[in-house]
Amino acid sequence: MRAPSPPPTYAHPARLILILSLAPTIGLGIGRFAYSLVLPDMRDSLGWSYSAAGFMNTINAVGYLVGALAASAVIRRFGLAASLRWGTIAAVISLALCAVSGNFIVLSFARLLAGLGAAIGFVGGGALAASIAQSRPERANFLLSLFYAGPGIGILASGLIAPFLLQACGPGSWWIVWWAMTLLTAVLILPLMTTPLGDGARIDGVARNGFPILRTLPYLAGYFLFGAGYIAYMTFMIAYVRDGGGGAAAQSLFWGLIGISALPTPWVWRRVLALDRGGLATTIILVVNAAGAALPVFGHSMALLAVSAFMFGIAFFAVVGSTTAFVRLNAPPSAWPAGIAAMTIAFGIGQTLGPVAVGAITDALGSLSYALNVSAAMLVAGAILTALQRKLKVA
């Protein structure tokens, strides 16, 4: 299969990929992760257990998994750009639904919709970003990393808004934060809706060529464990900071550090991402991610939490980016959407099982420290499995 010739819209690939990155900024950075910022207030106001709180991220992960499973068919039917846009619109709508009701069923549906839209937008955007990056082979890994730095912007923006809004408005104001996030994403989506995204340019045979699942099982299993492990940290760390006496400023600083640390990932990891040696790049980044997740177990000091947030953030989004780099280096362009979808499915299954399981462990044992122990252990196991993945021969 021949790679597509770069169309005129790829004249400024970095700018175009940064615009594409607004999809995961909205769907993941805000649509998924802002929940952690309002979770303590929602849990107190609505009388939820940790298991119920974890369920909201589980149902979000179910939507993400369904979206990942459907992504190839949706892309084949509507194209990469349209799938990206409609998935992101669904994520914005989900935020508005979170603001209008405290009903558990309504909120569950909203979180389901957020996951569904985020996954379709992520797979479509990831495949389109890979195609654009390929038009500049000498800079491909750097350009591709720009797409995965997007969620950091969403995490940073929500971290600068939500804690202070909750503090100013008082207990029970979680719904106001959801409205603020809705307005923020309604603004962020505008460039995505108005910029030509190369709708006429398609990857040859898009979504039709298969990805070698059996030959990549170690890698997929490692990415599954990453999905299960990271979610405990991202779901419960704000509650952990608050339980340790951290106020709005401490929560904002912690969350903002995760977002800020994601921004330099294209420069920090570009040499690692260029390693064409199977799962080695992902293994290296996962080790740093696991170390960051483990640090809070040793105490609540802000210095320790700050280092944890920085290490976790600088590695977290790079892990996701490394999977697309792995697909790009180990499959022909026609298999990229299917390969990215396979990665997203493995990740989605992991993060579906993670929140409720970790929430139940926390309810049973009575301490969030156990959630962080489980998170770090799964990330370490994921690193071991990806290290077993060997390079494939591109057909």
Reported as a single tens digit per residue, the pLDDT across 293-323 is: 999 888 778 889 999 999 999 998 889 888 8
14-51 pLDDT tens trace: 889 999 999 999 999 999 889 988 988 999 999 988 77
Say if residues 273 and 281 touch (Cβ distance below 8 Å).
Answer: yes
Backbone phi, psi, residue 4, to 5°: -70, 145
Q: Are 32 and 354 in contact (CB under 8 A)?
A: no
Closest CA to 144 of 134, 156, 153, 154: 134
Give the pLDDT band of residue 166 (cuts 50, 70, 90). Answer: very high
| Domain 15-196+203-387 grouped into CATH 1.20.1250.20 | yes
Q: What pLDDT does residue 7 have?
A: 43
Q: What are the C-alpha distances in Å from 199 to residues 20, 32, 99, 272, 335?
A: 13, 27, 33, 31, 18
> Any idea which of 25-39, 106-120, 129-143, 276-290 has the lowest mean pLDDT?
129-143
pTM over 0.95: no
Average pLDDT over residues 83-112: 95
pLDDT of 3 higher than 50: no
Please report which confidence band the pLDDT of residue 220 belongs to, taking 50, 70 and 90 as the band edges: very high
CA gap 220, 291 in Å, rounded = 21
The predicted pLDDT at position 384 comes to 96
Mean pLDDT across the chain, nearest whole number?
Answer: 85
- In this predicted structure, what is the pLDDT of residue 231? 80
